Amino acid sequence: MSGFGGIVRMAGTHPADEEIRKEIERVAERLPLYNSEQPQVWSREGGSFCFTLLKTGPAPQEATQPVTVDGKTRLIGDVRLDGRDELVSRLKSRGEECSTASTDEELVLRAWNRWGQSGFIDEFYRLLEGDYSFALWQPLERRLTCFRDLMGSRSFFYAHYASAQGEVFCFSNTLESLCCSSWISREFDFHYFGDYLLSGWCLDPQRTVYKEIKRLAPGHVLTLYESSLKIDRFSKLPIEEPLRYKEGEEYIEEYRTLVHQAVKDRLPKDGAVVFMSGGLDSTTVAATAAKLASSGGASGAIRACTADYKPLFDDRESDWAAIAANHIGIDLNIIHGGEHEPFEAWDSLRISLAEPVHEPYLAFLVEQYRESAKYARVALTGYGGDDVLIGNALPYLGNLLRHFRICDLVQSFGGYFLKCGKIPPMRAGIRARLRRWLRPHAASESYPVWLAQEFEKVYDLRARWEELRREPKLEHPLHPEAYASLSGPYWPNLLECDEAKRCGAPLETRCPLLDLRLLRFLLRVPPVPWCANKLLMRAAGRGCLPEEILRRPKSPLPYDPIEIQIRLGKWSPFPLPQLSQRLLDLIDKQKWIAELGKYKSASKWLVHCPLSLNLWLKSVEMPEAMQ
């Protein structure tokens, strides 16, 4: 992930250029440093920007930013586009001078000039697919336009305020950079803390842990013009008519083609690491990447990394991953986490987080990222493979009955029964399962009685608890829970947590199975038979993956590592570390200690949230104390 930041001045009495320059240098100090010794800093025409490059590919990247093709619009940001060939073809047909050698930044600027400013903004939005967050600055018009991709794979933070120096807008893709600005208050947002202690993260897509700094929500565009700030949604997953192919092989071939294209668009020419378990999703990505690398003359450039909890218990995930890696023909690096303790080694690993992350084994995950960064600058994941391909037949049955498509019903459900000897999984209790999916650790837990009464009252946390547990709106006729999951806060939160886990490792994660072209296709695929027990993925994997993997049922982690460590006496939350006074303002210490001592408590995940928050608060307080 390349780092970027900016400060633009709007109407009003502007601060001196020297003051702006000092401020952007403060922001630049905390940008991640990967391929450049010092951050680039650029100030002109009312805008000041900073940038550091993480060179990844496969597409050419601009080595310096901001970028312009006409001198009127400048781009600063992190951009990786999907469908480059189509975009280049469309631009060339409109007379734009570009080629497959053009950088993604240049293509965005040319598309903006051709469609974004010519009354065809929807066409610009349609062609803007990939992983990105960036800003377009038009100094003559004093207009700033900022974008964040639909799945939230790249962050975008901003602060907008009027001061004695004038109206100022600061932005960056790294929260810690904005925190360095002397113009932005570091006052905490206690609504954020409320969400965090109720669910393990903040489910408001616009809040950050700091009151003055906001997030741009995924799939949204922010426009700042004439002192007016406007935020609109520009992208969402469509709800389209189901596909009705005559031959089943057509579904399989289209799926293979789309997975191939999704991996190809994300695979650097010098290879990548694949975070690979022994399941279908990540092994499908690994097999596709290995095939692409081999055909491109880069055989051996793909390496897999897997983690297990041996020797704490007999975690066979690495054994399954080894079977897949041997079949695919790639090296496998196995990291054992069984000796790691919860909440350990933050100090020795120099873990610095912009926001609290409730991940007890964060140190273990940071080790995986840092180890993988020794081999590549890009890590591919299997995220997203479960969302649609989960075997949800009940909504499809209802849809066929409502539209009197009896022939389709008999053909799909009857065909499945004849082939498998059973009816497809109906997945009753869809909404309850979706709640568990969107909030996997907290959905079944009871309200945390250990919250401080004053904090609970002022921020109405019981009402917020009920709101967070409310059933999500189900819109999609065939894949309602998958559509809700893909459109909700789950993936942006998870992908931002991945950014946190890098902790200085020059490694960018990419998720081919969350490719929008692939998701649109899958949301149109009939759930029966293709989404029953991941039949489509299993069929597409024939010949690429070993039969053991293709036949393997979905296997969640069999044990909770924290529970096992507590039962075996290998770890205990007691004695408690020194607690931050800020944390003591949020919780009732005695009630919390009482709950923390109930090792078999159903609220085990949430009751450990204060431990994560305390570590983060102490890391924030220590630099303040030093200053």
SS3 per-residue string spanning 79-117 = EEECCHHHHHHHHHHCCCCCCCCCCHHHHHHHHHHHHHC
Q: Report the pLDDT value the prediction gives residue 404, as an integer from 0 to 100.
A: 80
Residue-wise over 224-237: b if at least 16 C-beta within 10 A, else e?
beeeeeeeeebbeb
Do the Cβ atoms of 107 and 98 come closer than 8 Å?
Answer: yes
Q: Report the pLDDT value the prediction gives residue 13, as an integer from 0 to 100.
A: 44
3-class secondary structure, 140: coil
Distance CA 91, CA 97 (A): 8
Tell me whether strands 272-275 and 220-225 are parallel, antiparallel or unpaired. unpaired
| Number of other residues whose CB lies within 10 A of the CB of residue 408 | 17
CA triplet 138, 142, 146: central angle to 5 degrees?
60
Q: Report the pLDDT value the prediction gives residue 583, as an integer from 0 to 100.
A: 98
Nearest to 439 by CA among 416, 471, 411, 413: 471
Q: Report the pLDDT value the prediction gives residue 432, as an integer from 0 to 100.
A: 40
What is the block-wise mean pLDDT of the chain (627 residues), using blocks of 10 residues? 89 62 91 76 90 93 96 97 96 94 97 90 94 96 96 96 76 94 93 96 96 97 91 96 93 98 96 96 97 80 95 94 97 94 78 88 90 94 90 78 82 78 62 42 75 98 94 88 92 88 85 97 93 92 96 85 90 93 97 84 76 92 50
For the chain, domains (ranges, CATH) are 3-233 (3.60.20.10), 248-388+488-551 (3.40.50.620), 441-470+572-627 (no CATH)
Do the Cβ atoms of 315 and 288 come closer than 8 Å?
Answer: no
Residue-wise over 348-368: b if at least 16 C-beta within 10 A, else e?
eeebebbbbbbbbbbbbbbbb
Reading the block at residue 322, the tokens are 């080894």
- Residue 506 Rama label (left phi>0; alpha psi -120 to 50; beta): beta
User: For the whole prediction, is pTM greater than 0.85?
Assistant: yes
Distance CA 23, CA 4 (A): 14
Q: Report the pLDDT value the prediction gives residue 433, as an integer from 0 to 100.
A: 39
Q: Which strand ranges, in their side-by-side order, compose the sheet holding 3-9?
A: 40-44, 47-52, 3-9, 166-172, 157-163, 214-215
10 Cα distance to chain centroid: 32
Residue 238's alpha-carbon distances to 143, 191, 252, in angstroms, are: 30, 32, 22
- Residue 226 Rama label (left phi>0; alpha psi -120 to 50; beta): left
Distance CA 222, CA 30 (A): 24
